[in-house]
Amino acid sequence: MIKEGKVVLDLELPQVISSRMEVFYNPHMRENRDISLLLLLTIPFEGLRVCDPMGASGVRLLRMLLETNKVERAIYNDLNQRAVEFFRRLLESNNIGKEKVEIYQEDACLLMRKLRSLHYVDVDPFGSPVPYLESSVIPLSRYGILAVTATDTSVLSGTYPKTCIRRYGSMPLLSAEFYHEVGIRILIKKVVEEGAKMDYALRPIFSYSYRHYFRVFFQKDLGPKRTDALLQKLGYLLYCDRCLFRGSVVLEALVHVCPHCGNRLLVAGPLWLGDLWDRELVENMWQMRGIVNISESTNKLLKRIREESKLQTVGFYTISSMSEAFKIGQPPPLERFLQVFEGVRTHFTGEGFRTSLSHEELIRRSHELLQRA
Amino acid sequence: MIKEGKVVLDLELPQVISSRMEVFYNPHMRENRDISLLLLLTIPFEGLRVCDPMGASGVRLLRMLLETNKVERAIYNDLNQRAVEFFRRLLESNNIGKEKVEIYQEDACLLMRKLRSLHYVDVDPFGSPVPYLESSVIPLSRYGILAVTATDTSVLSGTYPKTCIRRYGSMPLLSAEFYHEVGIRILIKKVVEEGAKMDYALRPIFSYSYRHYFRVFFQKDLGPKRTDALLQKLGYLLYCDRCLFRGSVVLEALVHVCPHCGNRLLVAGPLWLGDLWDRELVENMWQMRGIVNISESTNKLLKRIREESKLQTVGFYTISSMSEAFKIGQPPPLERFLQVFEGVRTHFTGEGFRTSLSHEELIRRSHELLQRA
């Protein structure tokens, strides 16, 4: 028998706590549950609807029911049949009325996407919370709390930087003495981003690192303005591993100067710098035209793209942008530009062309064009 | 009656094409469907399972069935009852066998998350595809094709840069003559990211801008290595709006020099630079300790965080990092550091402290500490 708070569990602990336990109960997560109880108690209204989509033993929900007196509805879910049965027995032995609990046994993401008006959702999976974040933000009502546990702390802290970039889209920093804090800040960025794409402002309100996991609580608010305000606090950390200097910058502060004219450069991105077309595919599609009945416009579009895909630069030039920048009063027709700059047309605009010339060479030839025009 | 390819539609077109039509059919998307047919024809295997989760009139799927001879199973979905009924009649009048088609009427994301082994998924919603991306990547099999249409081109092209940052996490560039291309590259980045977080490599293979929409096709591959290779092609665009210079950089190339010691700085991020704790909340949680039965460790942790939250810097220092950097042979105890640097402890590590001193002042006082030690 195990006692945690007011809950008594009819369980024997194995020597090693692992996800292979018949019903998962981790005594080392007691502090995790304690903290969530305290946080739930601070919510300034009653009749809460709370959800644990990876419920396992169900201790978290049961403690919320027994120890806070604020929960109107506890929504439990676990894919594991034994866990669900264990939780049912736990409810009975603790005399929890059925009207207070909903029990599901399905995919956590699917369930969360079907629920609404929750005051509290707890994402506490084995491993990374990333696959659950988008789904978990949806059922929360305004001012609702999202609790996120991440046990992939070695990824977030920089032991596997490539995995961190893949999963969280950010570069970690194992060299800093506060690498765990960097990890938590990357986790927060990811949650903020997942909310922001749907105009939800998820503000971090309580974070900590403990034993093998990170934990952050977010409060959800709505609307573009509140979301924009949060996004202004995303940026980069600069760190000197010699003298320990640390500073932070936002993207806009990364000032660059034009190597050609010395003007301040504009920055866009992050964005895709690779090819826009697989050339072999374009050729294959071109060959398929006879098989399906395509419109004349489709044919034109494909023809243009077929030409364009032979010179896949990042960006192109247009007659008007060049005329303005290089003061070409009466620009010649596009054909002349294609010739002078060894260009190909682009489907993006009828007056544009791509060239593989260097910018210096382009400017040199522009002057020639200007003199001859 | 409308004819598109081999499909005849029993529809009258209204004067204005809008989502208010009883059954949505947009004749201006003919080219969109033409191109997807051509692309489907290039797939080098037969017996395809294709899905249109926002099926509307169903013309796309019907053309794939009638004009390619490669589709084994066409999965149609639309929330609109009238659209579903229209599509059923369309199938009958075209003598399509029921074994070739599955019809659903539910939330597109929920459906996609339940499907598997698809060779082709077409995401073509009203507005931005962002809410559907994560879900659409899941049901695709290896080498499967994801087609994405974005009609929020003004957002992606930079007319509403804040919305672009919220929704896509990237800064657009309306000042460039190729602002549409920048928009498509931002769309691609978003799709690549949504795949990467689940170790899926979504490589863009065909992209175009046409009328009011952007369209990109991706081929899905699996695994960290292939995904990492894609991510290396994400970066920033630099642009000079005076001389038209353009260049691209990856994050690592954004070199910064330590303002204190001149060393090359390390860069981490993007990450959250704001507060980790809402101080009022921490105080409230502290007050709630008496109400629930929390462990001694929880109490200690909360006490430490309560202190730490009073000085919310980005990053902290540790005894060992400072001893090494500033060559303090026999460092004094933490209490002395707290005193000299006006610091507070951090819960992240027992030997760490936060300080609001400038780095210069910190180094000055370190020398004093060193001399006295």
The 10s digit of each residue's pLDDT in A34-90 is: 999 999 999 998 999 999 999 999 999 999 999 998 999 999 999 999 999 999 999
**For residues A47 and A113, what is the distance between their CA atoms, to the nearest angstrom?**
22
What is the C-alpha to C-alpha distance for residues B193 and B199, in angstroms, rounded to an integer? Answer: 10
Is the domain of A134 the same as that of A52?
A: yes
> Which percentage of chain B shows pLDDT scores above 90?
84
What's the token pair of residue A253? 């502060």
Average pLDDT, chain A: 94
Is A235 within 8 Å of B271 when comparing Cβ atoms? yes
Domain-terminating residue out of B270, B286, B308: B308
Q: What is the pLDDT of residues B114-131, one digit of tens each?
A: 999 999 999 999 999 999
Nearest to A263 among B242, B285, B298 (CB): B242
**Domain count of the fold of chain A:** 2
| Helix A279-287 with B30-42: angle, nearest 10 deg | 100
Same structural domain, A259 and A344: no
Clarify whether residues B74 and B131 are in a common domain.
yes
Contact indicator for B177, B152 with CB cutoff of 8 Å? no
Q: Last residue of a domain, which of B308, B338, B358?
A: B308
Segment A314-326 shows an average pLDDT of 95
Q: Which residue of A has its CA nearest to B211?
A: A348
B residues 76..105 contacting A (CB < 8 A): none
Say if residue B211 is in the same domain as residue B172.
yes
Per the DSSP assignment, residues forming a β-bridge with B344 are B354
Residues 241-300, chain B, touching A (beta carbon < 8 A)? 241-248, 250-251, 254, 256, 258-261, 263, 265-278, 281-282, 284-285, 288-289, 291-295, 297-298
Q: What is the distance between the alpha carbons of residues B152 and B328, in angstroms, rounded to a whole number?
A: 58
From the list B39, B196, B288, the residue facing A166 with the nearest CB is B196
Q: Does B69 touch chain A (CB under 8 A)?
A: no
Q: Which of residues B308, B327, B347 is at a domain's end?
A: B308
Q: What is the pLDDT of residues B39-95, one digit of tens each?
A: 999 999 899 999 999 999 999 999 999 999 899 999 999 999 999 999 999 999 999
**Percentage of residues in chain B with pLDDT exceeding 70?**
99
Chain B residues in contact with A321 (beta carbon < 8 A): 177, 244
Q: What pLDDT does B373 receive?
A: 55
- Neighbouring-strand partners of residue B148: B123, B216
Tokens 């109960």 belong to residue: A25
DSSP state of A149: E
How far is residue A351 from each of residues A303, A333, A347, B116, measured CA to CA in Å?
16, 9, 9, 44
**A372: pLDDT strictly greater than 70:** no
Q: Are residues B193 and B163 in the same domain?
A: yes
Looking at the fold, whether A176 and A220 belong to one and the same domain comes out as yes
Residue B18 has pLDDT above 90, yes or no: no
**Residue A373 reports pLDDT greater than 60:** no
Residues B101-111: what's their mean pLDDT? 98
Q: Specify whether B105 is located in the same domain as B197.
A: yes
* pLDDT tens digits along B211-263: 999 999 999 999 999 999 999 999 999 999 999 999 988 877 766 889 899 99
Q: Are A283 and A309 in contact (CB under 8 A)?
A: no
Average pLDDT rounded to a whole number, residues A305-334: 94
Q: Which of B109, B112, B164, B144 has its CA nearest to residue B217?
A: B144
Mean pLDDT of all residues belonging to chain B: 94
Q: Are residues B260 and B355 in the same domain?
A: no
Cβ within 8 Å, pair B109-A113: yes
Predicted confidence band at A28 (pLDDT cuts at 50, 70, 90)? confident
All residues of chain A having their beta carbon less than 8 Å from the beta carbon of residue B343 are none
CATH of the domain at B205: 3.40.50.150
Structural domain including A94 reads: 2-308
Chain B nearest C-alpha distance from A99 (Å): 24
pLDDT band at A24 (very low <50, low <70, confident <90, very high): confident
Do A360 and A244 sit in the same domain of this protein?
Answer: no
Mean pLDDT along residues B9-21:
81
pLDDT digits 0-9 by tens, A175-222: 999 999 999 999 999 999 999 999 999 999 999 999 999 999 999 999
Asked if the C-beta of A134 comes within 8 angstroms of chain B's C-beta atoms, the answer is: yes
Is residue B103 a contact partner of residue B89, using CB atoms and an 8 Å limit?
no
CA nearest B207: which of B172, B180, B237? Answer: B180
Nearest CA to A35 out of B202, B125, B88, B347 is that of: B347
Sign of the four-CA dihedral A192, B106, B36, A279? positive
With CA atoms as reference, the chain B residue closest to A262 would be B240
Give the mean pLDDT of A153-164. 97
Q: Which of B68, B198, B295 sits opposite A131 (nearest CB)?
A: B198
Give yes or no: residues A343 and A267 share one domain. Answer: no
Q: Across the interface, which of B234, B274, B293 has its CB nearest the CB of A270?
A: B234
Extract the tokens encoding B64: 């794939």
CA–CA gap between residue B259 and residue A274 (Å, rounded)? 34
The sign one gets for the Cα dihedral A270, A273, A279, A280 is negative
B129 vs B122: CA distance, rounded Å: 10
**pTM here?**
0.93
Residues 200-239 on B with a CB inside 8 Å of A are 203-210, 224, 227-228, 230-231, 233-239
What CATH number is attached to the domain comprising B337?
3.30.56.70
Confidence (pLDDT) at A223: 97
Q: Are B282 and B307 in contact (CB under 8 A)?
A: no
Residues B326 and B285 in one domain: no
A236 and A361 both lie in a single domain: no
Using alpha carbons, list the distances in angstroms from residue B174 to A33, A263, A269, B14, B209: 49, 18, 12, 34, 15
Q: Concatenated DSSP letters for A270-284? A: EEE-S-S--HHHHHH
Task: Tell me how close the Cα of A21 comes to any Cα of chain B, in angstroms.
Answer: 24
Q: How many residues does chain A have?
A: 373
Question: Could you tell me how many CB contacts below 8 A there are between chain A and chain B?
Answer: 453
Predicted pLDDT of residue A286: 97
A16 pLDDT exceeds 90? no
* 3 state SS for chain B: CEEECCEEECCCCCCCCCCCCCCCCCHHHHHHHHHHHHHHHHCCCCCEEEEECCCCCCHHHHHHHHHHCCEEEEEEECCCHHHHHHHHHHHHHCCCCHHHEEEECCCHHHHHHHCCCEEEEEECCCCCCHHHHHHHHCCEEEEEEEEEEECCHHHHHCCCHHHHHHHHCCECCCCCCCHHHHHHHHHHHHHHHHHHCCCEEEEEEEEEEECCEEEEEEEEEECHHHHHHHHCCEEEEEECCCCCCEEEECHHHCCCECCCCCCECEEEEEEECCCCCCHHHHHHHHHHHHCCCCCHHHHHHHHHHHHHCCCCCCCCEEHHHHHHHCCCCCCCCHHHHHHHCCCEECCCCCCEEECCCCHHHHHHHHHHHHHHC
- Collect all residues with Cβ–Cβ distance below 8 Å to B93 and sequence separation of at least 6: B8, B10
Best residue of A212, A244, A341 to probe chain B, by most B CBs closer than 10 Å: A244
Contacts of A322 in chain B (CB under 8 A): 244
Query: If you measure CA to CA, which chain A residue comes closest to B284?
Result: A42
Over residues B102-107, mean pLDDT: 98
Interface test with A, best of B64, B113, B143, B244 (most A CBs within 10 A): B244
Q: Give pLDDT, residue B191.
A: 98
